[in-house]
């Protein structure tokens, strides 16, 4: 049964290659998805706090003035 799952993964990767899309699994970083950066401690100017990163650091985003 385990080999069946491995064969399905290989088949999926081959189909992605045939379609012209390269599937490279990467860990999802919600801080980067919000245009933020991870900093140790608190966010200082010109950044403000928008959340917590996976490693416990503060997720900070730069102020944008219009």
Bridge partners of residue 62, in order along the sequence: 47
pLDDT tens sequence across 16-57? 766 666 666 667 788 888 889 999 999 999 999 999 998 889
C-alpha to C-alpha distance for 4 and 7, rounded to whole angstroms: 5
pTM: 0.55
């Amino acid at each position: 049964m385990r080999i069946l799952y491995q064969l399905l993964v290989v088949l999926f990767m081959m189909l992605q290659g045939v379609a012209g899309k390269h599937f490279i699994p990467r860990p999802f970083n919600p801080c980067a998805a919000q245009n933020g950066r991870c900093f140790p401690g608190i966010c200082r100017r010109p950044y403000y706090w928008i959340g917590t990163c996976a490693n416990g650091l503060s997720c900070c985003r730069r102020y944008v003035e219009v």
